[in-house]
Amino acid sequence: MKNLNYLVKGILVSGCLSFNFTNAQVGINTANPQAMLHVDGGKDNPASGNITSVQAANDMVITSSGEMGIGTLSPAVKIDARSTDNTDNSIGIGETSQAASVAGGGAVRYNPLNGGKMQYSDGVVWQDLISTPTKAVVVANIEAASFAIKIPYQVSTGILGWNEITDPTGDFTPATGTFTAPRTGVYLVSFTYDFVRIPIESGYFSEARYVVNGNATVKKCVKSFSNISKQAQVAGSCVAGVQLNKGDTLQPQIYQSVYNGSLSLRTNTSSSSNDYGFVNISILEQ
């Protein structure tokens, strides 16, 4: 009876495990192990050949160097859960009552107090884990010849050809005046413009517009004018907080209804000119 039990156990084990003695690899649910230990959770790997990223999404491996991959067959760190085909690559970290000195430097825990926060041990105390990414800060202006940039009548028009002054995260495209949000959040945008002097008539106005993703106007700042017969300066500005999702684009545009034709912005290339420095934009991630 004892021999029969051993035989049954051997059959069960052989049905679940695949051994590759040449490479000393063990596969569970797969006859095609790709590491020292390879578990195919979905039992969908091919019997031989390459395994796709979709098939590997439900796999777990331990490499010869002791690195564990979850959803990836090529872990780059001790525990790597960065699958390209999983919608959930998060790692759950729980609570602990251990002192930081006992847990040791580099340990991480979740602390549910005061709304919850992540903490790490420096070997002495538990420190709050605070992320401080480099935030988007864009400052740009227009340096163009006089009368070079024109805004047509009653057409919302984006301003092209910006001179970028600062953009440490590289999220602004000067050629098109388009900003791409690096993260979901609120961005404080300031935009100023000025046209050349023209006669103003009753009821006319100009607008600074913030257009998101090429078609959605999320903010308008209107500058209207009373009835005057002599020439005047037409200018405007718009300061607003704009909610953007990661990857959203934002472009400042101008709509003018003060001149039935193409109206030139007040610009110049020389900083000593009286027409220099009137078209500017700044974008600050909050």
Residue pLDDT, tens place only, 125-151: 999 998 888 999 999 999 999 999 999
What integer pLDDT is reported at residue 11 of this predicted model?
40
d(CA 221, CA 239): 8
Torsion from C-alpha of 12, 17, 20, 26, nearest 10 degrees: -140
Count the alpha carbons within 13 Å of 107 in the hemisphere toward its beta carbon. 20
Average pLDDT, integer, range 205-231: 86
Q: Which of 42-46, 111-115, 215-219, 227-231 has the lowest mean pLDDT?
A: 227-231
End-to-end CA distance of the chain, in Å?
A: 74
Residue 161: the pLDDT is 97
Is the pLDDT at 168 greater than 70, yes or no? yes
Measure the CA–CA gap between 253 and 274, rounded to whole angstroms.
Answer: 24
Euclidean distance between CA atoms 264 and 146, whole angstroms: 8
Class of residue 191 by CB neighbours under 10 A (exposed 0-12, middle 13-18, buried 19+): buried
Question: In the predicted model, is pLDDT for residue 118 greater than 70?
Answer: yes
Task: Kindly state the percentage of the chain with pLDDT values over 70.
Answer: 88
Buried b (16+ CB within 10 A) or exposed e, 259-278: beeebbbbbbeeeeeebbbb
Side chain identity at residue 182, one-letter code: P
Long-range contact pairs involving 68-74 (C-beta distance under 8 Å, separation at least 24): 69/35, 73/34, 73/35, 73/38
Topology adopted by domain 137-285: Jelly Rolls (2.60.120)
Instruction: Extract the tokens encoding 10.
Output: 């051997």
pLDDT in tens, 42-98: 999 999 999 999 999 999 999 999 999 999 999 999 999 999 999 899 999 999 999
Sorted by where each begins, the domain ranges of the chain are 2-80, 92-130, 137-285
Mean pLDDT of 185-196: 96
Give per-residue pLDDT as tens, 224-283: 876 665 677 789 999 999 999 999 999 999 999 888 889 999 999 999 999 999 999 999
